[in-house]
Structure 1
Amino acid sequence: MIKFENVEKVYEDGFKALKGINLDIKDGELLVLIGPSGCGKTTTMRMINRLIEPSSGTVYLDGEDIKDSNPVLLRRDIGYVIQSIGLLPHMTIGQNVAIVPKLKKMDKEKYEKKVDELLNLVGLDPKTYRERYPTELSGGQQQRIGVIRALAADPPVILMDEPFSALDPISREQLQDELVNLQEEIKKTIVFVTHDMDEALKIADRICFMKDGEIVQVDTPEKILRRPANDFVSEFIGEDRLKDGTELPSIDRVMDKPIKERPSKGLAGALKTMRKNRVDSLIVTEKNKFKGVAGVWAVQKNFSDETKSLADVMDTEVPTVQMNQSLEDVVELINKYNISYVPVLNDEENVVGVVTRASLVEVMADKYLD
């Protein structure tokens, strides 16, 4: 879809903004350009709609050199979303969204219908918002209008220059989610500039890292997280996102509080304790010494017998671990016995906690992901 071939940009003062850029952007993918300020990411993006011309090299769009295109007509065929949104304050929302279709002399009935469809697509009821003015909308709503305005003429390519960076964190996250959902429907070729690594990882099909006017690495978020090209990429991603998982935390960092009951506890009382603590089994202890585990099904099965207590229904053949064992031992036990948790005992055989499947999932996600 878009191809950069040996593209360079040198300004009159001799500053080299881009140095031999070679990049292929696939049809229908969302490519994120990321890097520190002054790395060349915005310059690269603006070459696609000829807001900036290369000093040398060629930019192709659908196999055609864009230098052969009329820049005005080219821009009308490329959606463009910027940080400052750029809505015209004297026009209604409907009029703002319809600007490019009108310039392209599209059929009015068609583009008016398209405006309503796009407003619905981003959760803004046309009956409520079409006749409002930009100042009557929140920042997040205005940015939604900026996005759908870029879609109104159904362009094959959309450029987005840090469109969400001025928004509050909640609005920003909502719009990121909406963009991902929207892209699943429209499958446009989107080039998105950001300096936010979390944003890039969340929305990108591929990420292009840039530094000092050069491309450092281009790959999927997964591969970049697993195999950053160099120290620059690693540092930009951040150590917390690059945990290698070679050493798992100790058991005491992972275990949850045990819900304990004594062996003499009646079954009705046991069920009440389970419901109160939202658990499906109880750790049975006597003077804090581990005796067994009583599950909800064993309790239910024997519930009609008022003479029975947890001592009668508990499972005494339950594997346990000591505090000084490794988390790998816990994982092995859970997998081997197909159990949902393992009680943790100290040197005196007192129950000090439990490690559950849920807590293991949480620590694994924190270890290997962000």
Structure 2
Amino acid sequence: MNIMNNFDKDDIYIVNLIKEECIRQNVKVYIVGGAVRDAILHRKVNDIDICIECDPINIIKKIKEIKKYIYYKEFKTSNIIFNNNVTIDLIHCRKEGYEYSGALPKVTPSNLYDDLYRRDFTINAMAYDIIDDKLIDLYDGMKDIKAKRIRKVHRNSYNEDPTRIFRAIRYSARYEFDIYDKNEISTCIREGIIKNISDDRVIREILLLCMESKWKESVVCCNQFNIMQIEVDLLEKDNILCDYLKINTRILNLFFASKQNEFREMLINNSILEKELRNSLKRYRNMTNEIQTILSQCVDNFDIYKLLKKFSLYELILISFFDVYKYKIMNYLSNLKEITLDVDGKYLMDLGIEQGKNIGNVMNYLLELKLNTGIRNEKEYLNKNSGEILNAVKH
């Protein structure tokens, strides 16, 4: 089997460059992991990882068509961008060990067999020998692809790295494969194994899950495993402000649909999600009841404007999940948000209005009038009714 038939010509060109240099240096070279899996499945290959049994810097220094690269000496890994903009991860085959459940692995340079053993699932533990044009499949990954199943490579895999549970769910949804290790995963979750990893690592997996086209299916699966407690009927809830192709919108939807305060707090308190998104989740959490009470009492455009101008779009999306408020929010965004006055403080002072609190009061009065009655020329209105306006703002 020649998996290279499923690579595009630019990728093949770069793989051959690396192959030729490895032949010159008598180094074995393999495409590993997801690229092999996706090529076998006839899916687009996006990320190409190449393993070699030497320090990658030895190969990098000899290839002239490299635009730039990052090299990590401690781990003997590198990320390379070539002149044709193909990106490759070139790494020394390695062995991983875990001191305890959930620990980050200790890495040591090794051979291909140790490298394949350290991987999460059999479908990701296949390698393609570029020089000899042959598939290396030590753990029956091809058999599992044909059977459409996600299966761990070795004993204690989920205990070593609980993030593999999230990846099993993600791959299951993406490829429509069954999870072979369901019972073991359920046991691990009941025993609280996910608490062995930091909240940041959990949120990173949730973010990756939300980047998938079948993100909703993944969330439903998490629910079934009792990883999250989500109101499934609220997922992708109809909301005119929601573009569910956007990752942050999916996070907002998850936050709204969550029945678990602990999970909501994780979405707020982490270093993974964008700061603006986290701040909006926090503000919404702190003000949910107040927002709903005040918004229910808003009876005119000016009241709606005064309240909603304080909030970010993310907060408005969260509020608009409540159907009763969505029309007020749409009115604000479509008709009110961009309305401004054609007069300013200087114009009012030129009319003889005393500087200070009166200026602000008159401006507010005019804005309220414009929002609620739709006056088109506030200058003309002001010139004709300045006495009446000043009297009104005083009382």
Normalised by the size of structure 2, how large is the TM-score? 0.25
Structure (1/2) with the larger helix percentage? 2
Normalised by the size of structure 1, how large is the TM-score? 0.26
Structure (1/2) with the larger strand percentage? 1
Point out which structure has higher relative CO (alpha carbons under 8 A, 6+ apart). Answer: 1
